[in-house]
Amino acid sequence: MKTAVIYASSHGTAEKVAEKIQNGLGGEGISTINLKTNKNIDLSLYDNVVIGGSIHAGSVQGCVKEFCKKNMVDLLQKKIALYVCAMNEPEYEQELKGAFPEMLFNYAICKKVVGGEFNFDKMNFLERVIVKKVSGISETTEKIDHSAIDEIVAAMK
């Protein structure tokens, strides 16, 4: 069974999570695919697909939504798990639901918010100002939910 972990990441956390899922599934035969640099993905090569992104200003990257919509028919014939990275805990469930088309969300066997990171070294000036103002956090912070990642891995095994 071949698996692809297809993701978009702005500052590297969703990518880190994709690699963690890849390692958890055993590495061999598991591909990680960055949506920002791979526009044409041949889904016929995979039986299982994990799709992930990260939340900024309440929404997931547009390329994640577009990918899901464009490939909906193919995706609904595979084993699917979904994740988003996010840091605003009270909004987690809403942000997760809003990140994927409803049909795919309901179909997926596992969908998780896996926490995230504020990486101040990778943010631009405006992002730093926004994050400080909205969250009150002003230094690099890690809040990745490793048990949620483990649950995705277990579901896809």
Ligand X SMILES: Cc1cc2nc3c(=O)[nH]c(=O)nc-3n(C[C@H](O)[C@H](O)[C@H](O)COP(=O)(O)O)c2cc1C
Which one of 53-61, 69-77, 97-105, 146-154 is the stretch in contact with ligand X (CB under 6 A)?
A: 53-61
Rule CB under 6 A: choose which of 3, 10, 22, 32 binds ligand X.
10
Is residue 145 within the footprint of ligand X (CB under 6 A)? no
* Token duo for residue 144: 């990745």
Rule CB under 6 A: choose which of 54, 67, 80, 104 binds ligand X.
54
Within 13 Å of residue 84, how many CA atoms lie on the same side as its CB? Answer: 24
Of 75-104, which residues contact ligand X (CB under 6 A)? Answer: 85-88, 91, 95
d(CA 85, CA 18): 11
CA distances from 123 to 86, 119, 156 (A): 15, 7, 33
Is residue 125 within the footprint of ligand X (CB under 6 A)? no
C-alpha angle 66-70-72 in degrees, rounded to nearest 5: 110
Is residue 57 within the footprint of ligand X (CB under 6 A)? yes
Which one of 39-47, 68-76, 98-106, 110-118 is the stretch in contact with ligand X (CB under 6 A)?
A: 110-118
To ligand X, the closest distance from the beta carbon of 20 in angstroms equals 12
Task: Assign 3-class secondary structure to 83-130.
Answer: EEECCCHHHHHHHHHHCCCHHHHHHCCEEEECEEEECCCCCCHHHHHH
Q: What would the x/- binding string for ligand X be over residues 11 to 40, using CB under 6 A?
A: xxxx--------------------------
The answer to whether the beta carbons of residues 30 and 59 sit under 8 Å apart is no
Is residue 136 within the footprint of ligand X (CB under 6 A)? no
Is residue 62 within the footprint of ligand X (CB under 6 A)? no
- Catalog residues that contact ligand X under the rule CB under 6 A: 9-14, 54-58, 85-88, 91, 95, 116-118, 123, 127, 130-131
